[in-house]
């Protein structure tokens, strides 16, 4: 999926799930959801997140294949553990929510994602082509949900 679709998937996930978590600063939590929602594409050399990280991004994309390790629940779980240990689990959940919003979003595309890579080849995939009509319809729907929430506070 495209960068802004991932961002809006992250925002909607925050609106849906953010209220079930507490124990820290909600703004930091929100930004961690956003970071998690774009972070997996660090494995794609042409992605915004990869380019913004310069040398680190280059090294990561050189040593990993796109939609491999960085699009796996295993890596998401490891990130959650690391953040929970260095900070607390509230912030770990923030990153995890965004991370899962990303890999489930990519799981809607024909290429799909391997949820338990590298331990299993089990794949989640769907019909929405990246940048296709289906993704644009999803994107518009997500934007409408966010605008409606800002105006009416539905969540
Ligand atoms: Zn991705």
Ligand 1 center to 37 CA (angstroms): 9
The arithmetic mean of pLDDT across residues 126-150, rounded, is: 96
From residue 70, give the alpha-carbon distance in Å to each of 22, 49, 142, 148.
27, 13, 24, 32
Please give the tally of structural domains in the chain.
Answer: 1
Ligand 1 center to 138 CA (angstroms): 16
Q: What is the pLDDT of residues 72-98, one digit of tens each?
A: 999 999 999 999 999 999 999 999 999
Ligand 1 center to 13 CA (angstroms): 16
Q: Say what the pTM is.
A: 0.92
DSSP 3-state assignment of 46?
coil
Ligand 1 center to 152 CA (angstroms): 31
- CA angle at residue 61 from 59 to 67, to 5 degrees? 150
Q: Would you put residue 143 in left (φ > 0), alpha (ψ -120 to 50) or beta?
A: alpha
Ligand 1 center to 121 CA (angstroms): 17
Question: Which of 41, 35, 38, 52 minimizes the C-alpha distance to 92?
Answer: 35
Ligand 1 center to 43 CA (angstroms): 8
What range does the domain containing 78 cover?
3-152
Ligand 1 center to 124 CA (angstroms): 13
pLDDT-derived band at 62 (thresholds 50, 70, 90) equals: confident
Ligand 1 center to 51 CA (angstroms): 14
Q: What is the pLDDT of residues 114-125, one digit of tens each?
A: 999 999 999 999
pLDDT value for 155: 67
Ligand 1 center to 103 CA (angstroms): 6
Ligand 1 center to 21 CA (angstroms): 25
């Amino acid at each position: 999926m495209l960068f802004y679709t991932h961002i809006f998937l992250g925002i909607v996930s925050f609106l849906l799930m953010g209220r079930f978590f507490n124990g820290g600063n909600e703004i930091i939590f929100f930004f961690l959801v956003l970071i998690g929602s774009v972070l997996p594409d660090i494995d794609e050399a042409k992605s915004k997140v990869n380019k913004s990280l310069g040398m680190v991004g280059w090294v990561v994309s050189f040593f990993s294949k796109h939609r491999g390790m960085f699009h796996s629940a295993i890596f998401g779980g490891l990130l959650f553990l690391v953040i929970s240990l260095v900070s607390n689990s509230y912030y770990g959940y923030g990153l995890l929510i965004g991370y899962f919003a990303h890999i489930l979003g990519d799981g809607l595309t024909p290429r799909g994602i391997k949820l338990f890579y590298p331990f299993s080849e089990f794949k989640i995939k769907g019909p929405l082509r990246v940048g296709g009509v289906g993704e644009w319809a999803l994107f518009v729907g997500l934007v409408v949900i966010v605008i409606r929430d800002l105006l009416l506070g539905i969540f």
